[in-house]
Amino acid sequence: MHRSGTNRLDAVTIRIGLADGAQTGQAAEALGLPAIRPSRSTLHHIDYRPGSAPSSLASAGVTISVHDSGDLSLLTVQVRYIRPARLDPRWAAFYGRNGETLRVEEERDSTRRVLAASYSVPFGRAARTLTGADLRLTDLLTPGQWSFFRDCAPGQPQDVPLNPFGPIPVLSWTVRLDRVDATVNMWRLPAADDGTEPARDLMELSRRSVPAEAGFLHPVLAASIRRHGLDPDGGIPWLEMRAARWLSEPAWTAGAAVGTSPKRGPRYQK
């Protein structure tokens, strides 16, 4: 489906980084998460294999991921820091077809406003088959995603092996803060088998809205978070950026295997 318009904005997502590591337990208790049943899913983060390209996809603001909720797996290519002028008119007018969708949205916190375009398609194979696979971009992406990547991502795509990292367990809770529903996501990054990188939890609160509502949502959510004893203005990077930084540590760039992370922090409902 196509529509006209180059100044496109489908949604605004408020994203507030909450905590890393041991601090996630404090944030979970403050928000009452142990009493709420979370939804569970897994995520694979995909980038160039370390050392195979001059720079990573993440460093250029590109995220490729497979999110598996059990009922549905989606392969998504997201380009951040996109400029409206760089969004080719054919992509500005494209919303989706045959199960493929393109969303243009602004991600926002107290100091940042970032325009991002995300092209998602159903992923037709088990996400676990990614681990250890010798894939390149042209093996993984659909023709539509490949064209989108080439047109919108900075720089030229590299014909090098990919490094699928995962599965990353993801826990999601719906919380109500001052009559506003929001989502708390926690990524449980597993430990390296060689013990050089411990398991790590990353937590973030978010709320997607129509652009007209975004202006009052962030102050409401931020004020409620402060009343819960948490800091919404700490400038904590968003989940994808924190995960990419963690994966750039020497243990992962040297190819350490992923271990099984132990249970950590408070006990959450199953």
**Residue 61 host element (H or E):** none
In a domain, 6, yes or no: no
d(CA 168, CA 38): 15
| Confidence tier at 3 by pLDDT (50, 70, 90) | very low
* Per-residue model confidence as pLDDT tens digits over 14-64: 999 988 877 888 999 999 999 999 999 999 999 998 888 888 898 888 999
* Per-residue model confidence as pLDDT tens digits over 60-92: 889 999 999 988 899 999 998 877 666 778 898
Grouping H, G, I as helix, E, B as strand and the rest as coil, residue 102 is strand
In a domain, 152, yes or no: yes
Residue listed under structure tokens 């318009």: 5
In a domain, 2, yes or no: no
On the question of pLDDT at 219 being above 70, the answer is yes
Which of 113, 55, 54, 103 minimizes the C-alpha distance to 81? 113
Which residues span the domain enclosing 160? 11-252
Identify the pLDDT of residue 132: 62
Identify the pLDDT of residue 2: 40
d(CA 133, CA 155): 25
The answer to whether 193 and 257 are in contact (CB under 8 A) is yes
On the question of pLDDT at 215 being above 80, the answer is yes
d(CA 58, CA 145): 17
- DSSP state, 60? G
Identify the pLDDT of residue 193: 64
* 226-235, Cβ contacts within 8 angstroms, sequence gap of 24 or more: 228/30, 228/31, 229/30, 230/18, 230/19, 230/27, 230/30, 230/31, 232/16, 232/109, 232/110, 233/110, 233/111, 234/17, 235/17, 235/110, 235/111
On the question of pLDDT at 237 being above 60, the answer is yes
Specify burial of residue 8 (Cβ count, 10 A radius: 0-12, 13-18, 19+): buried
On the question of pLDDT at 135 being above 70, the answer is yes
On the question of pLDDT at 260 being above 50, the answer is no
Pairing of strands 162-177, 62-68: unpaired
In a domain, 268, yes or no: no
Q: Which residue has the higher pLDDT, 83 or 93?
A: 93
In a domain, 257, yes or no: no
* Per-residue model confidence as pLDDT tens digits over 140-189: 999 999 999 999 888 888 889 998 888 899 999 999 999 999 999 999 98
Percent of the chain with pLDDT over 70: 83
* CATH number for the domain that contains residue 82: 2.40.320.10
Identify the pLDDT of residue 197: 63
pTM of model > 0.75: yes
Percent of the chain with pLDDT over 90: 46
* Number of domains into which the chain is organized: 1
State both tokens at 269: 């409902």
In a domain, 82, yes or no: yes
In a domain, 38, yes or no: yes
In a domain, 270, yes or no: no
d(CA 120, CA 154): 19
